[in-house]
Structure 1
Amino acid sequence: MQRVEYWIGNVVIKYRWLFIFALLSFAIISASGMQFLTFSNDSRMFFSKENPQLQALEALENTYTKVENVLYIIAPKSGNIFEAKTLAAIEFITEQAWTIPFSSRVDSLSNYQHTKAFEDDLVVADLISGAEALNDEAIAEIKQIAITQPMLLNSLIDQKGSVTAVNINIIKPDDGSYKIEEVSKAALALDQLMKDKYPFLDIYLTGGVMIDTAFGEAPVRDMRTLIPVMFALLLFLIIVSIRSIMATVATLLVIILSTITAIGLAGWMGIVLTPASANAPIIILTLAVADSIHILATVFYQMRNGTTRYDAIKGSIKVNLKPVLITSVSTAIGFMAMNFSDVPPFKDLGNIVAMGVMAAFFYSIFFLPSFMAVLPLRVKHNTGKQIRVFTLLADLVIKRRTPIFWSMLVLIIATSAGISKIYLNDEFIKYFDHSYPFRIASDFSAEHLAGLEIIDWDLDSGERGGINDPKYLKTVEAFAEWFRAQPEVKHVYTITDIMKRLNKSMHGDDPLWYKLPEQRDLAAQYLLLFEMSLPFGLDLNDRINLDKSASRMTVSTPNIGTAEILDLERRGREWLQLHAPEMTTYGSGLSIIFSYISKRNIESMLKGSIIALVLISFIMILALRDFKLGILSLIPNLTPAFMAFGIWGIFVGQVGLAVSVMIAMTLGIVVDDTVHFLSKYQRARKEHNMSPEDAVRYVFKTVGSAIWITTLALVGGFGVLSFSSFQINAHMGAMTTITIIFAIILDFFFLPTLLLKLDTKK
């Protein structure tokens, strides 16, 4: 290996201009792929096509209707929606909602299809018409109807009559003509129009379309705010630590080239950016600093000791090639292990960062030394203070090795114990903080109405026209009543409520007949008569399949977490197995898929983490050519992740989608400092024949400053990411930051004391 290191050092110096030109050309060609980058803000991007829960949802949507929605929540400042001016506003927005592109259905208090008897006929009409001319008596009648209808209560109106909703279903054609930006823009325009026209109303805008819009907005926000902050922070750290303008310029070039190379290659590969993968530049910016810092730290260290610039560059390549290669490959393996994830955006994030890390390796080993060889390089001598600080730290660790070792062991055990407090839970609405208007609207909806978390049940009768069978209807009704009795449930929408209302209307609106028809042919006649009376856009295609063999029941809950959603779905399935085994099915919907994805992702990433661990361990043993050191390296590499999870369990507890990839991701990152520490320690022991104590001093003196600087850069980079308004990125940044902090603590205090205890070989 040393021959290779010497040869590379000589070649880099000799052909420096060629390397500079070639690598810049490669970066430009790679970066040109950015023109092919596309972005997806579909919330379903988190699920692979093989995901069984997604397949079940798509099957349900193909049976009924495949829609997204826009939801307006209207809250009069007076606290009463049953006023002429408010009802007129509801009527106005209901009419205007049809102008939103791709709208296929509008449901509101205004166009609720109220049924009543007129002699022997069934009259179906809008609940509200000509609201401005309504008198108090008519409004009182409307209120009485609205607050007693199960289909409206807690869905389109709250129990107090103070909040109402207007829901617009948006159908997504398969011809590719659907543009979410167009729908979102129109929805926001109508929102503003209502606020200007009716200042006495508080209006909130949410729904699936607005959620997807927020998914598109999240990475734009991060790129606009976090990347400049991250870049400024890195620039500050590099200038302060290196104290060389030329070296700072060279390092920034390596960072920029690594980032644009990875993003450009992603474009060439056809990778679609998402809110999760769009933060790859921040991670690459952070990781790319480490290699350059280690190369430059060694160059300056040798030049201060009288070595010429060219020889110092060659010496730096000799000393750092192996550890930089090991750390780059290990980090790339850690991120590539994210391909085991069941979440496509995490796979893309892992692949993009892996490409960036390997690009940073080549730019650091070939471009950076070549560039430094042609720049006027001066050495500042005041950095000797840093060396003295780390020499004193080494002496402290050596002198107090026993108490430090046991203190570190207690810290490891105490923090890792917090893992027992971790529980799996996720709330996809809370992926966004309250800086997003839709999040405020969603929370308001969950507080006053049904919320956005739903479970859909496809209840099959087993025969054509079977939904009219009184036995089937009674089972569905019992199932709905069971759900209504559950504390988590706010609203249940089922065909049986329509059947009971029709039966009542066809018997002269007698309340005693508000029950299910007892004859199949009668139920079929009622339903046919009702469907024939419905206006365009308000049919029952979203409730009943074409041959009327099955119906769809929708259970709505407030914005609860995945654990509660899965538990509710399980209990519902158990009810069916016990009372209607022939109708047993799984609940479906986006809430269910998001609830399952964290669990599935943790299981898949556990396999990926184990494989990454085996590969990294093999690389460490092979590169160090020392089985004991290679196995020993696993302790400071694995332990920080367990400690971070423990701290998370103690102070947060809830683990969601973002945290499920942490072990694999951080495993490759924390290897960096450990590899440099062990490689320098091994060099001191074997090449310089130093004692374990002197070897520890040598490590702190030669690489302590570089480890400290790279750690600051990593903590700064991922710390900045933790301020993202998108929870997945924020949690990823926070957990990685905690892990890296524990990693440097262990590398500076636990690893050297462990080496001093175990390395007794003369």
Structure 2
Amino acid sequence: MRERWLGLVLKHPWWVLLSTLLLVVLMSSGISQLYFRGDFRIFFADDNPQLLAFERMQDEFNKTDNILIGIAPAEGSVFNKEVLTLIKQMTDAAWQTPYSIRVDSITNFQHTQADEDDLLVEDLLLNTNQLDAAKIATIRHVALNEITLVNRLIAKDGQLAAINITVQLPELDKNKEVFDTYKFAEQLKADFSARYPQINFHLSGVIAMNYAFAHEAEHDAKTLIPIMFIVIVIMLAALLRSALGALATVIVIVIAITSTLGLAGWAGIFLSTATVNVPTILMTLAVADCVHVIASMQFALGRGDSKKDAISFSMQRNLGPVFITSATTAIGFLTLNFSEVPILADLGNMTAVGVMLACLFSIVTLPALLYVLPIQANKTEEQQDTVMNALASFVIHRKNALFPGMLLIMVGFASLISLNTVNDEAVKYFSTRTEFRQSIDFLDQHLAASMPIDFVINSGQSSGVNQPEFINAIDQFGQWLMQQPEVAHVNSISDTFKRLNQNMHGGDPAYYRVPTAQDEAAQYLLMYEMSLPYGLDLNNQLNVDKSATRITVALKNIGSKEITAFEQHALTYLAEHYPAYSASAASTALIFGHIGERNMASMLQTLPLALVLISLLLVFSMRSWRMGFISLLPNIAPAAIGFGIWGWYSGEVNLGLSIVASLSLGIVVDDTVHFLAKYQYARKEGQNAEQAVRYAFNTVGRALWITTAVLVIGFSVLMLSSFHLNSDMGLLTAIIIFAALVVDFLFLPAFLLKFDTKESKNYA
């Protein structure tokens, strides 16, 4: 069947190429259906419990999607006429932000004071004409002593102020809405920067983060893919010593990528920060199939075979290994369907489909291309064989030292795996080179800007927030929160109640406490709410029937383990001390904190399944339980070495790295399969173990180091990404792939020489 199929391809190469073209055009037409999403919700499934809790909280209270504008004078504090005028003007202008529903700053803070029995509520700075020395001193005193402002909208040293713009997106076109909102804020920043060049402005918040996700993915698509394409073309032309061979490979790469993207479009899959890497990954993986076919053909041409016979020789030797390595790679990527992150599952599915398409084009289209292109014998083959033969001799003569030595090295690196810990911080997804990361790092030095958690506490009855015992519970919880080392700021309705109580008792500090009667608390709250201007009501803290309140806790920049532990600690405190009230927690930081932990757990659970499936496939393809068993250690060792090196190098495993073990398993199998396939072929031909090892090195060794070089450089290109999920994944995968070549060149042949001592005439 193989010979009939190959004969048909070589007899009608132009028909094969025309059929391929029609098929590719049909599949690629789906590219027009692709669209891009960059909001943070793409990281979570619709039934994610933390996302559902977050959405419920968003429905019950005001939205928390926001843009935070940090305002930092180059010198001195914000408490001078010029900067306060700027804050006032920018606060007023910020109301024009698309989809804005609220703007908060120190200038429009609703300052309260009593006039006999009346409660006066007005902006802390109502008119810039008021800004004399006395007014500035008053604003400074109020702002730096108001618990709801310090570390939220004003730094405690007064050197940084912030304007918080809350938006409510209609979510009809999330990408456009995010871009429109952010671009307005960016233009606002540019306008005021031109007017106040001595002031530094910084943008952060959920909208800024969503924009950064989209912007960095778009940037990667525009830069990494062209860089990778150029690198591969140059490497292939140099390593294959054949421009036409490189051209044939590039054609296969291009049609595999366009077909994959087209099928994704037809399937309704959108592009994201993860799936935008599919073309780059496919470039590297498609190269491996083509290089093995072309290298084997060049080997046959170099010994004098005709082009047709050389192609036949190559396909007979590589058809099985190419299919098996593609299938194992696809299995590795398909395990990403068990990921808790939908876009990682999309990455796995798209890459798996692309790998199998590349396999199809490599065994059908590539032979036809090679036949019609005027490729000639490579005159450097003899030199290349000499290098591989020398390496084979080294391994054969040093097998007794290489086997225990390599085993010791593998165990040593594997022992470092314990240094790794799962730690996911959404802010650290971005490189320090990015504007968003620089802004958030600066703001975190002065304000608690990046790690908010919202707690909702429900009294269980309408207007329950007016009950003194409920307010006391909220107040005690707030004080307990401020005692925790992770907490930088707490915004609670109890502080408003205490301030109003003090106001209504002549400003006496002794009355800065919770009202003692429910009707008194209700009256204070009603008077206050009736005095608040439009957009600055208490809907961000109280629900409609006033049965529940939201407490916003700003945390210092901590990792995923710490943030999930803090959540559990706080909820346990509430359950133990105030069991009559129900409580829940939610925020974007909390969702990301949980997803990293759960994703790593799910990936570790599926890794054994992937290993079993790949091992069974190898056993079936090689028709040998012994070869399948022998392949296990060389397939597991590279990932163990890679994660050991990572434990020594960094020790932090983020969302991107949690998939690398499963992802790389299918890739590293390629070297093992090709080496064992050639070794097994030689053994069945009657050669002993030493001769079979030498044959494997001579026939496939060059192709292995070429494909490894391309794969390592290909995944290393991802390191240029400013998005750490991509750059870290690229670096660790490159380390694992390189480790796989070392293991398959030094450990695997030594292992075979030491333990595969069966007589050649009885070999099966």
**TM-score interval, smaller chain:** over 0.9
1:106 is paired with a residue whose SS is strand
Residues in 1 aligned to 2:424 and 2:172: alpha-carbon distance in whole angstroms: 33
Counterpart Cα distance in 2 of 1:390 and 1:583: 73
SS of equivalent residue, structure 1 residue 101: coil
Moved more, 265-274 or 372-381: 372-381
Q: Structure 1 counterpart of 2:193, which letter?
A: K
Counting only pairs closer than 5 Å after superposition, residues 645-684 of structure 1 correspond to structure 2 as 645-684=643-682
Secondary structure of the corresponding residue to residue 74 of structure 1: strand
The answer to whether the Cα contact below 8 Å between 2:712 and 2:737 also exists between their aligned partners in 1 is: yes
Output one character per residue of 1:278-337: Cα deviation in whole Å (capped at 9) or x when no partner. 111000001000000000111111111111111111111111000000001110111011
Q: TM-score, normalised by structure 1?
A: 0.98
1:85/1:131 contact within 8 Å kept: no
Q: Partner residue of 1:86?
A: 83
1:576 paired residue number: 574
Cα pair 2:457 2:584 within 8 Å, conserved: no
> 1:172 is matched with which residue?
169
Letter of the 1:44 counterpart: R
- Aligned partner of 1:748 among 745, 750, 759: 745
Match of 2:491 in 1: 493
- 1:509 matched residue in structure 2: 507
Aligned partner of 1:77 in structure 2 is 74
Q: Are the equivalent residues in 1 in contact too, given 2:285–2:355 (CA < 8 A)? A: yes
Displacement of 1:133 in angstroms is 4.0
Q: Of residues 348, 361, 364 in structure 2, which corresponds to 1:363?
A: 361
Aligned match of 2:137:
140
**Residue 607 (structure 1) shift:** 2.8
Q: Does 1:324 align with 2:322?
A: yes
Cα distance in 2 for residues equivalent to 1:658 and 1:116? 52
Report the Cα distance in structure 2 between the residues aligned to 1:158 and 1:244, rounded to whole angstroms.
64
Instruction: State the superposition RMSD in angstroms.
Output: 1.1
Mapped pair 1:723 → 2:720:
yes
Greater mean deviation of Cα atoms: 699-708 or 225-234:
225-234
Specify the alignment match of 2:120 in structure 1: 123
Using the alignment, how far apart are the partners of 1:218 and 1:703 within structure 2?
39
* Counterpart in the other structure of 1:482: 480
Give CA deviations for 1:506-559 in whole Å, capped at 9, x if unaligned: 111121111110101110111111111100000111111111111000100132
CA shift in 2, pair 1:314/1:175, >3 Å: closer
Per the alignment, residue 60 of structure 2 pairs with 63
Identity %: 42
* Aligned CA distance change for structure 1 residues 323 and 175 (closer, same or farther; 3 Å): closer
| Aligned AA (1:263) | L
Contact 1:9 / 1:315 at 8 angstroms: preserved in 2? no
In the alignment, the residues of structure 1 paired with residue 625 and residue 192 of structure 2 have an alpha-carbon distance, to the nearest angstrom, of 71
> What's the offset of the Cα at 1:132?
4.5
1:113 shift after superposition: 0.2
The letter of the residue matching 1:30 is M
Residue 463 of structure 1: aligned partner: 461
Q: Which residue, 591, 609, 616 being the options, matches 1:611? A: 609
Shift of the 625–517 alpha-carbon distance from structure 1 to 2, 3 Å rule, reads same
Q: Which residue identity does 1:360 align to in structure 2?
A: A
CA drift at 1:610: 2.2
Structure 1 residue aligned with 2:734, among 733, 737, 741? 737
SS, match of residue 552 in structure 1: strand
Cα contact 1:633–1:674 (8 A) shared by 2: yes
- Cα deviation for residue 584 of structure 1 reads 4.8
- The separation in 1 between residues aligned to 2:171 and 2:336, in whole angstroms, is 31
Is the CA contact 1:84–1:132 (under 8 Å) kept in the aligned structure 2?
no
Q: Offset of 1:751 from its aligned partner?
A: 0.4
Larger CA deviation: 583-592 vs 273-282: 583-592
In the alignment, the residues of structure 1 paired with residue 715 and residue 251 of structure 2 have an alpha-carbon distance, to the nearest angstrom, of: 20
Contact residue 115 and residue 125 of structure 1 kept, 8 A: yes
- Please report how far the alpha carbon of residue 606 of structure 1 lies from its aligned counterpart in structure 2 after TM superposition: 2.1
Cα distance in 1, alignment partners of residues 93 and 433 from structure 2: 28
Paired letter, 2:250? L
Q: Which moved more, 1:50-59 or 1:87-96?
A: 50-59
Partner in structure 1 of residue 558 of structure 2 = 560
Aligned residue for 1:381, secondary structure, equals coil
Give 1:586 deviation, angstroms: 3.7
Structure 2 residue matching 1:722: 3-state secondary structure: helix
Q: CA deviation at 1:435?
A: 2.5
Please say if 1:707 is aligned against 2:704.
Answer: yes
Count of residues in Structure 1 that have an aligned counterpart in Structure 2: 758
User: 1:415 is paired with a residue of what secondary structure?
Assistant: helix
Tell me, yes or no, if the aligned pair for 2:332 and 2:666 is still in contact at 8 Å. Answer: yes
After superposing on structure 2, the runs of 4+ consecutive aligned residues of structure 1 that deviate more than 3 Å are 174-178
Provide, for residues 36-57 of structure 1, a one-character-per-residue CA deviation record: whole Å limited to 9, x for no partner: 0011011111000111111111
Q: Is contact 1:226-1:724 (8 Å) kept? A: yes
Give 1:176 shift. 4.9
Amino acid at match of 1:168: I
Please identify, of 402-411 and 59-68, the stretch whose mean Cα deviation from structure 2 is larger: 59-68
| Conserved 8 A contact 2:66-2:206 | yes
Shift of 1:24: 1.4
1:174 is displaced (CA, Å) by 4.9
Q: For residue 42 of structure 1, what is the aligned residue in structure 2?
A: 39
Once the two structures are superposed, the pairs formed by residues 179-258 of structure 1 within 5 Å of their partners are 179-258=177-256
The structure 1 residue matched to 2:639, chosen from 641, 647, 654, is 641
SS in structure 2 of the partner of residue 559 of structure 1:
coil
Q: Which residue of 2 aligns with 1:103?
A: 100
* Alpha-carbon separation, structure 1, partners of 2:581 and 2:743: 57
SS at match of 1:487: coil
Q: Distance in 1 between matches of 2:171 and 2:307?
A: 63
Partner-residue secondary structure (3-state), 1:128? coil
Distance 1:350 1:383 in 2: 37
Report the Cα distance in structure 2 between the residues aligned to 1:45 and 1:225, rounded to whole angstroms: 23
SS in 2 for 1:581: coil
Whichever residue aligns with residue 65 of structure 1, its letter is N
* Structure 2 residue 365 is matched with structure 1 residue 405: no
Structure 2 gap segments, 5+ residues each = 760-764
Where structure 1 has 5 or more consecutive residues not aligned to the other structure, the ranges are none
* Kept after mapping to 2: 8 A contact 1:455/1:591: yes
Match of 1:14 in 2: 11
Superposition pairs of residues 256-275 of structure 1, within 5 angstroms? 256-275=254-273
For 1:490, what is the secondary structure of its paired residue?
strand
1:388 corresponds to: 386
